[in-house]
Structure 1
Amino acid sequence: MSKFRVRLTLIFIILLGLSMLVAGIFTAKLSENKYIVFLEDSTLHEIAVIQAVTDLHKVGSEQELTAYYDEQAKKLKSTLQARITFISKAGKVLGDSDHEPSSMDNHLNRAEIAEAVKSGSGSEMRLSDTLNEQMLYVAVAVKDDNSQIGFIRMAMTLETVDHSVRQLWVLLLLGLSVLFIIAALISYRIAHNLTRPLEKITRVAHQITHMNYRSRVTIRKKDEIGLLGEAINTMADSLQLQMNRIQEDESRLKSVLENMMSGVVMIDRDGRIVLMNRSAEDFLGFTAEELLGKKYDEAKQQFELTKLIRECIESCEHIRDEMIFYFPEERILEVNVTPMSQSDEEWAGVLIVLHNITAVRRLERMRSEFVANVSHELKTPITAVKGFAETLLAGALDDKEIAKSFLQIIFDESERLNRLIGDILELSKIESKRIPLQFSPVEMRSLVERTLHMMRPEAEKKHISLEMHVEEDIYIEADEDRLGQILINLLSNGISYTPDGGKVKVKIEALHSPTDRDNEYERIRLTISDSGIGIPKKDLPRIFERFYRVDKARSRISGGTGLGLSIVKHLVELHKGTIQVESEVGIGTKFLIDLPVIY
């Protein structure tokens, strides 16, 4: 049973109990008063009878009168079963049915006698001094020719009245108890019928406050409580619809924030970090759990960012800047700090948007370096061509031997310039993916044999032996021309950087994994190794960069452009493969290329 139902039941019971108690007291008092009035009336009638049967005009001495009236009082008591008292005009007791008249006080000052003197009759209820009982006294003035000659008083005990009143109270209490029990049951039933629907409505309201918007009130009647329940259900439907929309919007917003490439940080009006997406965590090197709730100047961020936020707060204007962050790794970030305000233009905080522009700046730097390198590389052969041409024009043309050597140099430099321009155009097309690859099954052994046959004359000039170790029946889906270009560039590098009498090897093998069955394989490995001068460890990370040369003097002598390995790397990546390099100075270099069998 709920507390509300208990309280309501108790209120009903208390109100009914008080009402019945007041009604009972009123009824008892009314009954008691009516009974006493009835006794007074009957006593007056009995006194009238006493007047009729008693000689109230008797004359004689005081002793004679006392004896007479005392005897009459005792006789009348046996008949009327009440105390009879005859009192003289002066208040002296002449006769009494219960006591000796001579021992009794003057009664003229008694209330009933005093009232009888005034109105002819009087009554009073009091405790009798002689009998020590609650008595009803009724007195009547005896008159003779409109003059009072004495008083007749009749007294009867109220024990009968008290007994009747007690019986009445017992009956009344029993009736009240029965009515009280019935009223309690009826009150409980009424309270139950009133509170049960309210309890259900309250329970549903509590569930709604705890975000259980599916809870509903069961409506059985179309009364006021039923209308209240219907209103609760309508409110729950509206709240559920609104919460679904809010959750959908929140989910979309959260998904957008979490998948944004830009970092987003929000700071509230108190300067505390309240929002931070995943990209911001990566950029700043701290998790959201570490920063949320902290003030921006206590978040262990670098001083420049803190200063930028403070400037935005003080100026209330958008600020943009670029910063280099060194933790967790070096990167360049574009920082946009924007002040936020609510609809009433009240200050709401700061929104920080971080863009990682490291790749952009790196590309810009690479472009600048590429332009510089291209300019430098183009300038060298053009300068040579121009210088020797000027020498020939100045008169060296007359000496045939010198003219011939100068023309050969001009031709070689022109060839070098042509190769350089061709490689630049080739690399540009490959990087922009403007070269469509024509994939087809390629048998690797025959491809390597053709490539080695093509490169053998160049190798024989330096007495370098070319070897191949290729497994039988190795096929791969690839662009055969581009795959051959990869082999040619790597073999050419190996021949160029290997001393006379050295060795260059080509090895192709299948890479088996534990899940392969029946000799099936998903990848193959091309290994091109040489016994050349090797590459220092400090240069290994940069050898695939454009125009990067380990030995610049030897590269110029061999006519290299510095773009071959960069082209190789891009072609391998177009085939969804990977390339690695292993090298030791003075021992040789090994290039390892892993390619998928099926593109």
Structure 2
Amino acid sequence: MKPFRVRLTFILIALIGISMIGAGFTMAQLFRDSHINALEENMSREINLLSGTLDFVDMEAPEAVAYYTQQAEHIAKLTDSRITFITKAGRVIGDSEKNPLEMDNHSTREEEILAAEDGVGRSIRYSDTLDRKMLYVAGAVSSDQGFDGYIRLSMGLDAVSEGLNRAWLYMAGVLVLLFMAATLVSYKVASSMTSPLEQITRVARRITDLDYDARVPMRRKDEVGQLATAINAMADSLQDQLKTIRDNEDLLQSVLDNMTGGILMINAEEKIALVNRATEKMLDISNSEVAGHSYRELKRHYELTRLVEEGVSNKQPIHEERTIYNPGERIIRLDAVPMMQDDSYRGMLFLLQEVTEIRRLEKMRSEFVANVSHELKTPVAAVKGFAETLLGGGVTDEKTARSFLQIIYDENERLNRLIGDILELSKIESKRVQLDCSPVHLIDFFDSVLGTISKVAEKKNISLSAEVPEELFIEGDEDKLRQIFMNLLSNAINYTHEGGSVKVSVINRVKPDGTETVVFTVSDTGMGIPRKDLPRIFERFYRVDKARSRSSGGTGLGLSIVKHLVELHRGAISVQSELGIGSSFILELPLLQEEKL
């Protein structure tokens, strides 16, 4: 620790020495400036005195040079300074030290230029004539006797230099004494500080090594004790701030990881700075693999990469959609904004949002409107056409007229069913339908449903059967369940050839998590559904056999209503079918409905 003590002593002495030297230079400069300012003011007053008392003659008179030279020499003896008379054009017409005729033009001298502007000018420079540094003060003087120029006084700065030298000698003596006293005091101060400072240094090193639990065990009341307290407070603050930073980082990471939208950040060097989990899943990439690499490494998503490149190049906001394939077709909406901080460009931030489902729903909505218009137009046109024929008197045969009226009635019924189904579907989709749940005894329920629809089946010689456990109950809205199975059984009968069969089977199932469900299967021996149509079978107005569906009076909304009612019961529906063999609609509903809080 002794070398440190010695170093500290020398540092203190050096600081005192530097302070004294700095103070000496400052004082010397102040002394020099004040003395020069005093000289300048005296010389200015002398010029003003001369301008008021001197007898001037015409500057252009032949005897002007001799006269002003004589006056300059006379005044110089009285003022102990050099006197020079100068015309406005810079020509010297009188000087106390040199023949004016041998002197050059003074129009470019600093003091004359300043005097021309402000009335009085000053400059300090080396005089080649007198071989020493001089102070020059010039004043603009104008007299009615024909003098219009400058009177310049100059004086040597030797007195100022002598004063400075004396000051330096005095300060040097004082400095030596101070150095001797400072050496003794500094050594004692260093000795008292080294031991606690060594302890503080060890703790500071531990904190530097990220050991924020380190503390200085010191209870002193002096400055060193205050330093120890400050170190401990700093360690406490760092520990709290580090915890806050880590908590914020964890929170920010959690937000980024749980965002449904993707985040892609490109820094100013055009490298990927951040990719969140949603983007990783969307683009099938990993943040650890692409971070720090160029965004062009996303080249397998060509359209998206080209859009990112456009944003990075132009540094302008972007709002576009692109289609990528990962693995299937996906529509990605990309919103980009430049990141600015204090008018400095920091990179581009891209928000990726998958809108595949939104666009699909928009397309379905558009198709729904078109289909509704088409479906409504057909019966309305039929009713209008046959009614116009009857009103026009073109049908005189009563049998034909009755057939026309029957067609009008059937089309009206179809129109009513269509409007009813549309309203029902609208209520279900807008969540305005509430379930009125109660226990439903399934064997009695299906006896009633099959009894209602049996007449239709008998017309096509189709056998109806049901396999339902006798004591099985389910909690649900009986009216909605009836609507579900009436739709499914009606479809099964309509698309089953004469002599076929339609069957309902019900089983109770327990899931691995312990919840109980009831599985319903409505199967038929009909024509079946092509594999390509299976994914769209529950869409509104989608028909597999459009001609047969229209002839049977179907609206194309039945299965869509069924799907929504099943989901309203928190269930699921699926379909299995083979062409020429038949179809099976499988429903799985919970045995008990959860109570809504």
Q: What TM-score bracket applies, with the shorter chain setting the length?
A: 0.5 to 0.7
Tell me the equivalent position of 1:356: 354
RMSD: 2.5
Task: Give the Å deviation of 1:191.
Answer: 12
- For residues 527 and 269 of structure 1, do their structure 2 counterparts lie closer, same or farther at Cα, with a shift above 3 Å needed? same
Structure 1 residue 557 displacement after superposition: 1.1
Q: Does 1:566 align with 2:565?
A: no
For residue 292 of structure 2, what is the amino acid of its counterpart?
G
Amino acid at match of 2:564: H
Larger radius of gyration: 1
Q: Give the 3-state SS of the residue equivalent to 1:325 in structure 2.
A: strand
Contact 1:546 1:563 in 2 (8 A): yes
Is the CA contact 1:271–1:295 (under 8 Å) kept in the aligned structure 2?
yes
The amino acid of 1:241's aligned partner reads D
AA partner of residue 252 (structure 2): L
For residue 481 of structure 2, what is the amino acid of its counterpart? L
TM-score by length of 1: 0.65
Cα distance in 1 between the residues matched to 2:300 and 2:197? 56
Q: After alignment, is 397-406 or 254-263 more displaced?
A: 254-263
Shift of 1:513: 5.0
For 1:440, the equivalent position in structure 2 comes to 438
CA shift for structure 1 position 514: 6.8
Contact 1:441 1:477 in 2 (8 A): yes
Distance 1:444 1:202 in 2: 84
C-alpha deviation, 1:302, in angstroms: 2.6
Secondary structure, counterpart of 1:506 in structure 2: strand
**Is 1:388 the counterpart of 2:383 in the alignment?**
no
Question: Shift in Å at residue 443 of structure 1?
Answer: 1.0
Find the partner of 1:471 among 448, 469, 474. 469
Query: Do the aligned residues in 2 keep the contact of 1:308 with 1:337 (CA within 8 Å)?
Result: no
Residue 548 of structure 1 corresponds to 542
Q: Tell whether 2:252 aligns with 1:253.
A: yes
1:331 alignment partner, SS class:
strand
CA distance in 1, matches of 2:302, 2:521: 50
- In structure 2, the CA distance between the partners of 1:203 and 1:559, relative to structure 1 (3 Å rule), is farther
Match of 1:273 in 2: 272
Deviation at 1:235, TM superposition (A): 1.4
Spell out, residue by residue over 1:52-79, the C-alpha distance to the aligned partner (whole angstroms, 9 max, x if none): xxxxxxxxxxxxxxxxxxxxxxxxxxxx
Post-superposition Cα deviations, 1:360-405, rounded to whole Å, max 9, x if no partner, equal 2111111111011111111111121122122223333322111111
Q: TM-score, normalised by structure 2?
A: 0.65
Q: CA deviation at 1:350?
A: 0.8
Indicate if the aligned counterparts of 2:576 and 2:583 stay in contact, CA closer than 8 A.
yes
Q: Tell whether the 8 Å contact from 2:279 to 2:352 is kept in structure 1 after alignment.
A: yes
Q: How many residue pairs are counted as aligned between the two chains?
A: 413
> Over residues 414-460 of structure 1, what are the superposed CA-to-partner deviations in whole Å (9 max), with x where a residue is unaligned?
11111011111111111111101111111111111110111111111
Q: Aligned with 1:334: secondary structure? A: strand
- Contact between 1:285 and 1:328, CA under 8 Å: does it hold in 2? no
Q: One-letter code of the match for 1:332? A: I
Q: 2-side partners of 1:471 and 1:400: how far apart?
A: 54
The alignment-based identity, stated in percent, is 54
Q: Unaligned 5+ residue runs, structure 2?
A: 9-188
Structure 1, unaligned stretches of length 5 or more? 13-189
Bigger mean CA offset, 490-499 vs 388-397: 388-397
Q: Deviation at 1:312?
A: 2.7
* Conserved 8 A contact 2:440-2:475: yes
Aligned to 1:237: 236
> Matched residue of 2:406: which SS?
helix
Summarize deviations over 1:274-319 as a string: whole Å, max 9, x none.
1111112122221212211111123335333333333333333212
Corresponding residue of 2:582: 588
State the secondary structure of the residue aligned to 2:395: helix
Distance 1:588 1:233, change over 3 A: same
**481 and 7 in structure 1: CA distance in 2 versus 1, 3 angstrom threshold:** same
Q: 1:396·1:403 contact (CA, 8 Å) conserved in 2?
A: no
Q: Given residue 587 of structure 1, which amino acid in structure 2 is its aligned partner?
A: I
Structure 2 partner of 1:84 = none
SS in 1 for 2:586: strand
Distance 1:509 1:354, change over 3 A: same
The Cα of 1:209 is off from its aligned counterpart by 2.9
Which SS does the other structure have where 2:574 is aligned?
strand
Verify the 8 A CA contact 1:396 1:402 in the aligned structure 2. Answer: no
1:396 is paired with a residue whose SS is coil
Comparing 484-493 with 396-405, greater Cα deviation is found at 396-405
Does the 8 Å contact 2:571/2:589 carry over to 1?
Answer: yes
CA offset at residue 224 of structure 1?
A: 4.5
